[in-house]
Amino acid sequence: MTPRTSRRAAILLTVSTALIGLINPVSAYPKGKTIHVTEGNSIQNAIASAKGGDKIVVEKGTYHEQLTISSDGISLVGHDATIVPPDSPVTNACSGLAGDNKQAGICVAGSGILFNTTFDGEHHKVISVGDYVKDVSVEGFSVQGFTGINIAVVGAKDASIRHNTMSDGAQYGALTVGSKDSHINHNTVNAAGGPLNPFHFIGICMDDTSTVTITYNDISGYFIGLCVQTSGAIIHDNSVHDCCIGAFVDPGIDGAKLHDNVITNTPPECGFGWGIRVQGATKTSLKGNNISGIVGTPANPGVGISVADDVGDPTSTGDIASGNTAEQNTLKNNDIDIELTSTGKGNVFKNNDCTVSTPANICPNN
Ligand SMILES: *[C@@H]1O[C@H](CO)[C@@H](O)[C@H](O)[C@H]1NC(C)=O
Ligand SMILES: *[C@@H]1O[C@H](CO)[C@@H](O)[C@H](O)[C@H]1NC(C)=O
């Protein structure tokens, strides 16, 4: 080998190692150990002893704990493990996030997080994050009955929350806020008694600073199934049923994509219903969603897809909905399938399978 070809080989080797590093984030951690936790022992102690690359397997049982994960590269795997509130609450990074004295079941949290002290009735907004916690995954747990949030992701990067069941979280089933590249997939989020008795506010909410992916979740029994507060959010193949509002896209949110979700059935106690409500958001893409059984009262009819400006009440932002597109959605058995009240430009409805609309000319079948 000439010096020249060997140098090329060395460069190639460096390049390919760099590529492997890029496509496989797991390689950022040494091959870790598996730590087993059995009923009667502390999951939090196991988390404290774990290093990046380690997997903590929690065996069958009920654990009265509030967990915090704030080191990189930890996977927490439940095998028929249930997390319920401890007798006395623990104070951690997620305490108070969803209101004073409200707690989270599992809290994935970075450090140096600066919260806005104003509480808007939903959660404290994140102003900045000192150090993101990276590559944490939580899967296979049943998390039940926390006063704030069953599973919270705050100031994290590349967190993955999957195949968990979150039941009866009073304010939220799952919330990701101030995070990057969160993935919330294949979870079941439900609430006994439905949205109002007692009040169960939001199934899954995303209020992140970069792309978030919310897919294949089954959400039911919440006032709002999906709260969309992240521009560019990717939300598809979720099933949302028995909620007052299937998905709410907030004022000022740009470019959220909601595709192939199935949204059905408004509980009668809601007294109104929205399948998907786009309120003062821009460039939302609604495509291939299947929305049925959204019903309200004669005074407040249920609406499958509603695009409106955020105006008309004291807390309104005045944001105008514009550039939103709804296409190839299927809408059946709703009081009103599609409603456009926005005064904004470029809101387009096309090729939807629907019958009843306001104004009357935006469904092809009437
Ligand atoms: C905190 O939230 C309030 C209310 O939304 C807002 O007016 C204020 O600008 C926020 N503060 C910071 C520092 O972001
Ligand atoms: C969409 O809804 C209709 C009923 O309105 C149902 O027959 C069909 O199977 C649904 N499609 C999907 C993908 O869920």
Q: In the chain, where are the structural domains located?
A: 37-358
Contact 102, 171 (CB under 8 A): yes
What is the widest separation between alpha-carbon atoms in the chain?
A: 85
Closest ligand 2 atom to Cα of 290:
1
pLDDT at 31: 84
Contact 218, 242 (CB under 8 A): no
At 120-171, the pLDDT tens digits run 899 999 999 999 999 999 999 999 999 999 999 999 999 999 999 999 999 9
* Distance in angstroms (rounded) separating the CA atoms of residues 220 and 115: 29
pTM summary value: 0.91
Omega before 359 within 30 of 0, i.e. cis? yes
Helices (H), 79-168: none
pLDDT at 30: 85
CA nearest to 269, candidates 337, 310, 222:
222
* Distance in angstroms (rounded) separating the CA atoms of residues 233 and 211: 5
CA 281 to ligand 1 center in whole angstroms = 19
The residues with which 220 forms a beta bridge, in sequence order, are 241
Closest ligand 1 atom to Cα of 116:
1
Instruction: Tell me the best of 113, 123, 125 to mutate to test the pocket of ligand 1, counting ligand atoms within 8 Å of each CB and taking the most.
Output: 125
CA atoms 233, 237, 240, 246: torsion sign: positive
329 CB-near residues (< 8 Å, 6+ apart): 286, 287, 288, 289, 290, 291, 304, 305, 352, 353, 354
CA 250 to ligand 1 center in whole angstroms = 16
Contact 222, 194 (CB under 8 A): no
CA 241 to ligand 1 center in whole angstroms = 33
Name the architecture of domain 37-358.
3 Solenoid (2.160)
Which residues have C-beta atoms less than 6 Å from ligand 2? 262, 290, 292, 330, 332
At 39-79, the pLDDT tens digits run 999 999 999 999 999 999 999 999 999 999 999 999 999 99
pLDDT at 365: 60
Residues with pLDDT less than 70, the chain: 1-27, 365-366
pLDDT at 223: 98
CA 292 to ligand 2 center in whole angstroms = 9
pLDDT at 364: 77
* Distance in angstroms (rounded) separating the CA atoms of residues 197 and 223: 10
* Distance in angstroms (rounded) separating the CA atoms of residues 316 and 354: 30
Tokens describing residue 183: 């993935």
pLDDT at 366: 52
CA nearest to 156, candidates 174, 178, 141, 187:
178
CA 124 to ligand 1 center in whole angstroms = 10
Q: What are phi and psi of 16, to 5 degrees?
A: -70, -35
Helix (H) or strand (E) holding 330: strand 330-332
CA nearest to 154, candidates 203, 110, 117:
110
pLDDT at 18: 43
Which residues have C-beta atoms less than 6 Å from ligand 1? 116, 118, 120, 127
**Conformational region of residue 145, where left means phi above 0, alpha means psi within -120 to 50, and beta covers everything else:** left
